[in-house]
Structures are given as structure tokens and as C-alpha cells.
Homo-oligomer: A and B are copies of this chain.
Amino acid sequence: MCRPLPASRCVTRWPEPATRCASRSRRRWPWPRCGAARARLATCLGRWARGTKAGSDLARRPPDRGGAPAPSIPHPGGLLSTPDTDTLQAIDAYLNDNEARFLDELFEFLRIPSVSTDPENAADVRRCAEWLIEHLQGIGLSTVELHETPGHPIVYAEHLGKEGAPTLLVYGHYDVQPPDPLELWTTPPFEPQVREGKIFARGATDDKGQVFCHIKGLEAWLQTVGELPINVKLLIEGEEEVGSVNLDHWIAAHKERLSCDAVVISDSSMFAPGIPSITYGLRGLAYLEMTVEGPDHDLHSGLFGGAIPNPINEIAGIIARLHDDKGQVAIPGFYDDVIALSDEERADFAALPFDEAGFLEESGAAALRGESGYTTLERIWARPTLDCNGIWGGFTGVGAKTVLPAKAHAKFSCRLVPGQDPERVAEQAEAFVREIAHPSVRVTVTPHHGGKPVLTERDAPAVQAATRALSRVWGKEAVFTRGGGSIPVVATFSDILKAPTVLMGLGLEDDRLHSPDEKFNLENFYAGVRASAYLWDESQS
């Protein structure tokens, strides 16, 4: 049912802008701007790595050191590239010499309660943006600007002038989730503290800590070399946790200025501790709602039952026919545009230390269930799905009511993989539902929203550069992962800037983002700073 990438397919490529990705929009598809969903994406990247359990080769990672003083930044293994040794040695020395200050500065950043969702914190959010402006000016970036929006301000900076060199746009956010419930924090959320080698604070990993890695990575170059080896743009918004409500508009309005060869985002997690990871694909979404109407009012099942169509019976029949016996989606044409996984990708996924039992245990389900012929990682990362998200109709209270209800409703959504188009899938789904519905009922299918899948080719220069940078820092080859969810801003960059995105997650699965005792391992912070500094170097070629 799958086939290789057709020439006309909408896939972002790097560094060539995906100009072939012409919009087929006839309907308007609002992008979901759910900060929570976006942040949760992190959890698909590595929660179930076998290494998070005992006994794997991941046990080779350096042990937590516990408490101050801060650890030394891991030294690069230099496995996969040929760096300018003098320059990088100078940068390494700078990073080592300034470890303590970097941590102090991150603490300053973390102390500002930039909770974007709470109007009482509006001034704090602005103060945080202003702190960033001042800080970015301090490290030597040539242009640093605060841009007003109808909501919280956007911080934008750039350091250009490297003609002929690639341009990377780093995206991050300086706003944070509310800290509630406060009583579950071991130490106050806005009084950062290092315990057992971990920085505890709201925003430590989501996303202040991770975006700060890039800021320090830029500083290292600017303060040692005096310039960057490539062109860098920095976009740090203050509304990610409230759905980035003003971001699309701002990006569209600054489309020329933001033009770049690739976007880099560090706002997620590594596949597992000690396993540097690049996420190069995300699933898209087509969300629909259907209503099945039988009688025009609720009827007594004794008086009408058996002669009048029952909307619940009928909607169940429709839903049942949306899958075939092999667990594939039965909507005609559904798989037509799917870009099949390559043998190399499948081999790479299979080589990951994925803890399937842990994944199942985390879900609490009795057994796995999915499309025949695919592994679990393939199913959640690279195969399209159809899940009912909600269903309701008739009497749902306690007890019994012998009603033959007038209507039944269901919400369902397809996770889409690269190649698939949300609108086309929605149309296919609607047509199929109408086709299989019994003529005695009226069926309404309403597309709710959608999001395009994202695929950055693994051999794209930005992906390769990030891979080399991470591999050098961790001394082992970075792995390629995909994500089962969506990160809407990635699709925005793809749509508006025609730029691919490299997701270079620096956090860990147990970082408790959005929860009490959010943390960021010191090791990951320092390694992240170094990975950023190396990224500029690796991106020159």
C-alpha cells in the first residue's frame, strides 16, 4: 500500500527550500497550538529505551555526580568530523572555564516566573524577554530585537554576514508552564537548585535550559573566535505554553527575514540517557467528527426497536469498517501517498534499544495491538493510524433507559505520515463514511483540524551536521528517531519558510516537564552547550 516518494510529494528538503510543496488548501486547517501536546511529544522519543531500565549498554554513561561542584563538560570524541582543531580547542577551553558562570546565568533565567498562561505573571514574562534581550546583546550577537505581539513579546536575534555559508534558525521559548501543584515541589520552582547532578526548576528543561544551551554555544564562538562560522537567527517566543497563538502570524509577517536553510529546535528529549538523538520525522493529523442521525427524536426502544435505524448500532458499524482484519485503515486511498520506510530506516529503528515491555507497561494495556507487519516503533513513528478519540450518544447516566436515541457522535483522528495530506485524508475518510453508512441514517462528517506530517531527510546537511555535533560530544554515534505526535511549529516552518527542521532534543524522558520537580541534568546542560557550539562548526560544510 506504500510507495516510494513521488516527485511531486510535499516533503521538506535541506538546504533546498521545498518549493514543490505547493499548498493544496481548499479548506482552512487551523494548526493546533497546544503547548502541552507539543511538550508531550518529548515522551515519544525515548521513554521506552531499554537503557532507561537496568542492564543495557547505556549503563556506560557517566554516573550522576550529585550536588555541586558542577561536572566538567564531557570532552568530544571527535569521531565523525574533522574539526578546526585550534578553534575548537579554544572553544572547549572557553566552555570549561565558564561552566560555573553559565550555570549562574541559567539560574537567573530560571528565577523569572515567566508563566505565560497566568495574567498575573504578564510582567514577569516581559521581564524575562527583556532579560534575554540584554543577555543576547551581552554575548555579542549583532542584532537583538524585542517584537511586540498581541500577547507576549517575541525575542529575535541574528548574526549574519557569512556569505555563502548556510543559515540556521534556532527556535525556542522562554515561557514556562504554571508550577502548580506547588506543594509537590521539593524546592520552590523558581528558586533553582542543583541536587544529585540535576538542575531543579520550572523551565529547567522546557525550554529555558535547552534554549540556553544554544545561547551559550553562540557565546563561545563570539567570545573566542569573534564570529560565527555560519549565519544564525534566533527566535525565542513567549507563548509556546499557551499554544503559540501569535507565532504563525509573526512568522508569516517576517517570512523574508526568517529565511533559512534549516530550523533547529531543542525542546524535546533524547531517545535515552547517553544516546544522542536526532528526530527527523513527525506524524501529522487529520481530526474529524461524525454524527449519525436515525430518528429525529429519542424513541422508546420497545415501540420502535427493530424497525427504525439505531444511530449507535450504525455508528459502531461504520467505525468497525474503518479498519480491516490486519489492522490497516480501510479507507480507500488512505495509504496511496505514504512514503514507505526504507530498509535502512527499519534497520535503524530495529537497532534502537527500545524497551517494548516497558512501553506496554507504561500504557497499562494488556497487549499490543496494531497493523500487521510492523514493529511497535514503526507503528507509532512511521505508520498512519486511525483512532477514535471520543464517542457519545443515547443514555449515558447511571442505570438503564430503554431509549432508541436520535443521534450518535464520534470524534476520530488519523495520525499521518510523510507523504499524506491532511485534507486529502479527511476527504477520503468523509467519502468512505458516507459510502458505508446505511441509507436509513443521515451522516455528517466534519473535518475539525489537521496538521501536515514532517520529514527531514536523514542525509540532509542540517541533519548530518547535527548528528556529527552530537556524536562528537557524546562520543558515540547519534541515532535517528521519529516522533509519533505533531509539533505544529515544525509544520509552520515547513509551510511558511519552506525550511526543514532538525529536532535536537537535549533533555531526558524523566525530566518531568509540566510537572513538579522539573529538572535538567547538569551533564545534559553542559553537553548541550558543547553540542550547540559544535553544530555551528559542523554546519559550515
Contacts and interface: CB of A to CB of B under 8 A. Distances in A.
A283 B302 contact: yes
Interface in A130-162: none
Given A316-B319, A316-B320, A395-B390, A486 B309 contact: no
A300 interface: yes
Interface stretch (A342-350, A362-370, A526-534): A362-370
Interface stretch (A12-20, A40-48, A50-58, A513-521): A40-48
A368 B439 CA distance: 9
Given A387-B404, A401-B389, A415-B306, A320 B323 contact: no
A440 interface: yes
Contact of A319 (B312, B401, B440, B485): B312
Nearest to A401: B389
A449 B399 CA distance: 9
Nearest to A382: B306
Contacts of A317: 316, 319-320, 323
A302 B415 contact: yes
A307 B391 contact: no
A485 B304 CA distance: 9
Contact of A363 (B295, B408, B415): B295
Contact of A483 (B296, B302, B400): B302
A367 B316 CA distance: 19
A37 B298 CA distance: 13
A325 to B, nearest CB: 10
Interface in A384-417: 384-397, 399-406, 408-411, 413, 415
Nearest to A315: B316
Copies in the complex: 2
A279 interface: no
Contacts of A287: 400, 402
Among the interface residues A387, A404, A406, which one has the most CB atoms of the partner chain B within 10 A?
A: A387
Interface string A403-443: 11110111101010000000000000000000000111110
A386 B302 CA distance: 10
B365 A484 contact: no
Among the interface residues A301, A303, A320, which one has the most CB atoms of the partner chain B within 10 A?
A: A303
A299 interface: yes
Contacts of A396: 390-392, 409, 411
A296 B37 contact: no
B442 A366 contact: yes
A300 B438 contact: no
A448 interface: yes
A32 interface: yes
Interface of A: 32, 37, 40-41, 43-44, 283, 285, 287, 294-297, 299-310, 312-313, 315-323, 359-360, 363-371, 376, 379-380, 383-397, 399-406, 408-411, 413, 415, 438-442, 448-449, 483-486
Given A309-B367, A315-B391, 5 more contacts: A299-B363, A300-B485, A313-B322, A387-B402, A390-B394
23 contacts: A37-B302, A44-B303, A294-B369, A296-B365, A301-B389, A305-B387, A306-B380, A307-B376, A307-B380, A309-B369, A310-B388, A312-B391, A315-B316, A369-B440, A387-B402, A389-B402, A390-B395, A391-B392, A391-B393, A391-B396, A396-B409, A400-B411, A400-B448
